[in-house]
Each structure stands twice: as structure tokens, then as C-alpha cells.
Amino acid sequence: MADVRVKICGIRSPADLAAVVAARAAYVGLNFFPKSPRFVTLAEARTLALAAPEGLCKVALVVDADDAALDEIVEAMPVDMLQLHGKETPERVAGVKARYGLPVMKAVGVADEGDLAAVLEHSLAADQILVDAKAPKGAALPGGNGLAFDWRLVAQRRWLRPWMLAGGLTAANVAEAIRLTNARQVDVSSGVESAPGVKDSAKIAAFAKAALGPAVPILR
């Protein structure tokens, strides 16, 4: 599954970053939602962003952030992509793209077939779509809850934009999720943690190995 790309979201330390790099992930997510156990301050995120190697896509995750909050993030550190994980409208997505000139990934929560229309709607504005499990009513977090949805809802579907599968993925089920849905990108946060907000390097490695397959040795 060498053509699959992995995103590890919600890192908080240099050790987390090192584990992401070692796992051959394509994306790393920095979470700026204060209610999340994975929240990082601007100073913490800047340190991690500056230490990230070239080629690793640095994604800033926000939830219904206003322009002032986004300005602070973009001005404080090198960011490659913005992830909007709240109730942002397609118009807001388009406005963010225009203001910052950065690719935007829009998260869309899915629980049943009725939620799929929003995937298409946001595909008209966003550069990528994160198809995630819809948070339960009253949940404090819009994502990162460790919940999965019925993958058959998105099995073999083609969208207008590249998309990423998220929600309840772990090393134990990600290969099956990829096989069933034909997702070319997968996102994980709580599935590689030993406790909420605490990344586990062994779990990160196991997840990436399950999603990507074993590393191919370089012959010299």
C-alpha cells in the first residue's frame, strides 16, 4: 500500500514529531482547539513546525476560528495546510483559501448516508476533504473521539477532491478500512495514543506499518 498517505494528528512534543517522521507519515497535524487534549500553544507549535523536515506537510487544525486567530497561526510559523474542523460553511472555506493562499482541508462528519451531501458541497470549495465520524450530540470535541462510522457509506466512492478517511482508525483496522473504502489517505489521532493527548511512538509505528506496509530497504 505504498500509494497510501498517512496523517498523524495532534502531536505535542519533539518526540512525537520524531515518531511521525520515522513512521514515514506524509502529514502532521497541530491542534489549535483549546478544548482538545491535543491542544498546542503558538509557541509549542512553532517549535515543532520549525523542526519538521522538508516534505512533511504541516497541517494547522482549527475549529470555527476567526480571521484573527488564523492570522496569529499563519504569522507565527510555517504552515502548509489549514484544516477546518468545525461548522464552517463552503463560503467560509473559500474565504480562508483566498485570505491565506494555503490549501484548505475541510472535515465533514459522517454518521449516515444523509451526511454525504455535505462532502460534495464542501468539495466545491476545499482542496481536500477529511471524512470523519460525526461527533455525538453534546460532544466537546468535533473529532478525535475515537469513534468509527460505517465505512461502507464511502466504499469505492469518488469525490471531486482528494479525501482522507478518519474516525476510529487503529493499527488493527486501518488496513481493512483502506481495502474496503479504497481510501488513499488516512488520518489518526486518538488511535495512536496511550491516553488522551499522549502519543505513543510504538502505536504510531504500528499504524503506519499497517497502512503503508513495511519499509523497502535502499540498496547501496
What amino acid positions are annotated as catalytic residues? 9, 132
Radius of gyration of the chain (CA): 16
- The three three-digit cell numbers of residue 211, written as one number: 497502512
Tell me the H-state helices in the chain: 14-22, 42-51, 67-76, 90-100, 116-123, 174-181, 201-212
Find out whether 125 and 84 touch, Cβ atoms under 8 Å. Answer: no
Find out whether 73 and 42 touch, Cβ atoms under 8 Å. Answer: yes
Calpha distance 199→191 (Å, rounded) = 9
Q: What is the residue whose three cell numbers read 488520518? A: 187
Query: Which residues fall within 8 angstroms of residue 183, CB to CB, at 6 or more apart?
Result: 4, 154, 163, 164, 165, 177
Query: Which residues fall within 8 angstroms of residue 11, CB to CB, at 6 or more apart?
Result: 17, 20, 28, 29, 30, 38, 40, 48, 199
